Structure 1
């Protein structure tokens, strides 16, 4: 069962549903009359008006036609699509493979100046090695039953990462749980190479890398992996979907959470010691 959409998505969908109800009332129609005109069951009208079922483009056109409000269909379709784009199922964006998903992020990465990323499960994409990214994407492709374009997807991810990490004025504040260093993605050799690259990346001027030790006294519980792009947009990664967050109030919550995680993390020599210990454990 898919994870529930967060409040910003629910709010956006409810606004569309409320607008459908307003259009019907402005036309002086009952829900049953809309159902008769469109050929739907009355229960569908109720589901659309209560945001239980998101309307399709055709649903909106039919609704507006039944209410003699065809001129409002275009704007309402745009609002519904915007709500849908806040909660995007992986199977939808991965149905043609993983490469296009990597390329989709390029404009967002290019315009973002400050990336704030918290990871509880895997190494952030911007710091993944070729072998680590390949092992991870093969697992993702297999689980989601996506077309196998892993080699192309890995190249696209590495090209994107090299561009934004080493060029321009981008800055990366990254906080990892220590478990990220210990979870084996690929072979021990793959993990050793990835951990070695993390040590090297700590010297990049654009990168601040912190690690939250197992021993940290938790003032903030572990949550889903997320990234905040500047202070304009956040993205959380669920098993079944990515959630795009644009509500200022919710973005502030993610920024607050990132601040808490940052204060739990260790940096510099202490972070290097944790990474080195993880390397040693592979031997």
Structure 2
């Protein structure tokens, strides 16, 4: 969990602890008896070790006679959940809705900083490559509403921002991203051809980190920066939204350090063409 989400959860727990004590429950055990909960649950919520659900908030406020705070605290819970959103919850209605959600963020962003160590960034993907990615998403998260075609369409819709407005796209890919195979050699060759084509766009900068490059910082997870207002970090379990200025500064510093190892222009194209030759031989 990001520092901001954890701090918010701990602050919520401290506030609920205050409600409990003010209501005359001297211990977590006494409150657990009154609510029918396990004592460990009360302790975890108060110490920021467990998320409180909206129902938990209602029960807590009713038992401590703080009903007037229910709306405010539920809003706090929802904000914490937004900072740490599990993929299973995001995909409970399919994958397309998550892609749709990104469009307004792209529309208002002026400067993008993207780091992907193993996969081609979604906005630069071909339809075929993207479809193979979403096949894996559906399998991993056991999405029952398989709307992969709609998800691909929404992902490709983001490409319009490459051609409109004065947005600046700074994209860093590790050389491994050129070889991570989705769909076989033909799909990969088409994807690499697409990458070579978009590199000519005037407001898109694509840097490649050679596999033998010395790094000033370890690669870490992929992340996307939207101006200096939001960073999205993807893990297997969740998408983390970083909005705290100090944390955003840290990601900006990491991006600058990774960028020091990147090659651009003809050296970057040469790495991509080597990958194309690799998939030619694999056919």
What TM-score results when the alignment is normalised by the length of structure 2? Answer: 0.94
1:279 aligns with 2:267: no
Q: Counterparts of 1:36 and 1:141 in 2: how far apart (Å)?
A: 42
Cα offset, 1:79, TM superposition: 0.9
Q: Which runs of structure 2 are paired with 1:34-49 in the superposition (5 Å)?
A: 34-49=31-46
Contact 2:216–2:260 under 8 Å retained in 1: no
Match of 2:6 among 5, 10, 14: 10
Q: Counterparts of 2:21 and 2:108 in 1: how far apart (Å)?
A: 43
Match of 1:67 among 47, 64, 71: 64
Contact 1:116–1:227 under 8 Å retained in 2: yes
* RMSD (CA atoms): 1.3
Match of 2:227 among 223, 226, 230: 230
Contact 1:237–1:243 under 8 Å retained in 2: yes
Q: Which runs of structure 2 are paired with 1:143-222 in the superposition (5 Å)?
A: 143-146=140-143, 147-159=145-157, 161-222=158-219
Cα offset, 1:45, TM superposition: 1.8
Contact 1:34–1:67 under 8 Å retained in 2: no
SS at match of 1:266: coil
Structure 1 gaps, min length 5: none
Structure 2 gaps, min length 5: none
Q: Counterparts of 1:60 and 1:194 in 2: how far apart (Å)?
A: 48
Cα offset, 1:28, TM superposition: 3.5
What TM-score results when the alignment is normalised by the length of structure 1? Answer: 0.94
Cα offset, 1:39, TM superposition: 2.7
Aligned to 1:22: 18
Q: Counterparts of 1:243 and 1:29 in 2: how far apart (Å)?
A: 35
Aligned residues: 278
In structure 2, relative to structure 1, the CA distance for the partners of 1:81 and 1:189 (3 Å cut) is same
Report Cα offsets for 1:240-265 as digits up to 9, x if no partner: 11111111111111000000111110
Q: Counterparts of 1:194 and 1:75 in 2: how far apart (Å)?
A: 48
Q: Counterparts of 2:205 and 2:256 in 1: how far apart (Å)?
A: 13
Q: Counterparts of 2:214 and 2:50 in 1: how far apart (Å)?
A: 43
Q: Counterparts of 1:6 and 1:232 in 2: how far apart (Å)?
A: 15
Contact 2:2–2:83 under 8 Å retained in 1: no
Report Cα offsets for 1:105-135 as digits up to 9, x if no partner: 1111111111100001210011001111111
Cα offset, 1:69, TM superposition: 1.1
Report Cα offsets for 1:201-236 as digits up to 9, x if no partner: 111122110000012112221110001110011011
Contact 1:60–1:76 under 8 Å retained in 2: yes
